[in-house]
Structure 1
């Protein structure tokens, strides 16, 4: 049992490291955000479908649940579009620092989703996160659009996390993932088809959209298979052996891993003003402390 926990803990660190590498891949892939997300969701849905068939999962769902999954899929697609959009107009460090505010948005939205009262310290932590964001905005004005897109991405991440929190109770994670990914592909395809029609083929689905370098194909396959399909399914499996606090603390290492990898790969392009790191550290510390207090509160309730 102890060995299972240790293996799961080490495995989960690898998964979070992979998640951190996702942002780096987004910067390495030369495609714009829309085709990048379309290919990612298309390929990943294919990989997850193969997994479902191998495990002989039932894909049948009620109309109501399918409707919720369609909404969640659109939210996830918008999350990834803004996430990779932020990387394209700023850099990996900015995007990941802002993505860590997803935990703050979750703490604000959770009482609404699960109909509970707000906790006093959550308001205080919210103010601290705002201070951290203010510091980043003050020193990185040239990345204003990237910061805004990063915040929108974090907000959308909080929404689909809360939606999946309800869905996961009675639906297999792989089935949820398949329908959400497939919905994203369909939604973006409709948008691209409309853009192609309006522009007469200059935008949307055209020859340029399907012209991809071998290097980008390699990165896309890694992004869709390892960073999406594998990481999602493996994360659900190892979480069964870990405490909520361990999960929360480890996930919050994602921006640290990602920023470190980006600095190693891109060098000076990722070097920011020292005050940026003060703001990012304030946000991350607040998120970790919030997670610690929430986990402790839940444990006290159980005991």
Structure 2
């Protein structure tokens, strides 16, 4: 259902708590990616197909207006294609390296957002955001230096973070105009179509025509349903909705906490496989420093601007 555009407003404590709860769910997504046995592209197809079905049922049940016009529909579907590539690289990174390395690479999302948001929204670059993004990159360099054996997985995660930043910036425009569940419905369909098209390409490039496991086993179905309905339908729709209260940069900076939540969960579930070198944790701490100082610097900057007016 189309809604009237409006200003973001001031986030409440409940909004912040909800955002952090979503980050915990997203941190658990990489763990589910490791638990599910089917390859990354097939996983994205199943995830987005089930998410589309449930969102379609929700839209019908709530009698939402899903007709948005052909040009907007194309925009939603293309954004879904970006999401599909993001998730494919995300799950592949968790398997090529491990959950911890994958989440550390994803923490560069704030830097990508600080670069992409001004381009898409045609506003001035904010030096504060660029500076905090550079801090995140410095942390990533420390991680890369001590975990060079995971270079491929880390690189996949960094590109995945760039794609995540891109669709967050794009969705920030949609969030003020269209219903979050309608946006998510179309984007999940676009992601499903894109992943389905990419499936034979990845099969030829990476599996050399060898038989691959396309059918989920018993436990896979449980994890895929959780991934599709909790981590996607609920969390993704709520994330689009929160873009009315937070800027894309603020959301992606908070998502930098995903490694903390995700790594703790991964160590508890996978044990020694997820224990990293001290250099890895030092680099992750540098990345998370940006999250902790952003609200303080933002408040200080706003206070100075107010006093100078």
TM-score between both structures, scaled by the size of structure 2: 0.84
Is it true that 1:229 corresponds to 2:233 in the alignment?
Answer: yes
Distance 2:54 2:37 in 1: 23
Residue 258 of structure 1 is aligned with which of 262, 271, 274? Answer: 262
Are the equivalent residues in 2 in contact too, given 1:104–1:287 (CA < 8 A)?
no
Kept in 1: contact 2:118–2:125 (CA 8 A): yes
Match of 1:116, SS state, is coil
Indicate which of 21, 31, 55 corresponds to 2:28.
Answer: 21
Once the 2 structures are TM-superposed, how far is the Cα of residue 130 of structure 1 from its aligned partner? Answer: 2.7
Counterparts in 2 of 1:158 and 1:9: CA distance versus 1, 3 Å: closer
The number of equivalent residue pairs is 294
Structure 2 counterpart of 1:165: 172
Q: 1:129, CA displacement in angstroms?
A: 2.6
Contact 2:114/2:126 (CA < 8 Å) preserved in 1? no
Partner of 1:145: 152
* 1:156-185 CA distance string (max 9 Å, x none): 000000000011121111111111110111
Deviation at 1:213, TM superposition (A): 0.6
**Following superposition of structure 1 onto structure 2, how do residues 19-58 of structure 1 map, counting pairs within 5 Å?**
19-58=26-65
- 1:1-303 to 2 correspondence within 5 Å? 10-192=17-199, 202=209, 208-209=213-214, 211-235=215-239, 251-290=255-294, 292-294=296-298
Q: Displacement, 1:296?
A: 6.2
Q: Cα deviation per residue 1:219-263 (whole Å; 9 max; x = unaligned)? A: 1011111111122334566787x7779967754432211110001
TM-score, structure 1 normalization: 0.85
CA RMSD in angstroms, aligned pairs only? 3.1
Q: Counterparts of 1:118 and 1:71 in 2: how far apart (Å)?
A: 26
Query: How far off its partner does 1:63 sit?
Result: 2.0
- The 1-side partners of 2:242 and 2:169 are apart by 20
1:225–1:298: structure 2 CA closer, same or farther, 3 Å change rule?
A: farther
Q: Structure 2: how far apart are the matches of 1:7 and 1:121?
A: 26
Partner of 2:6: none
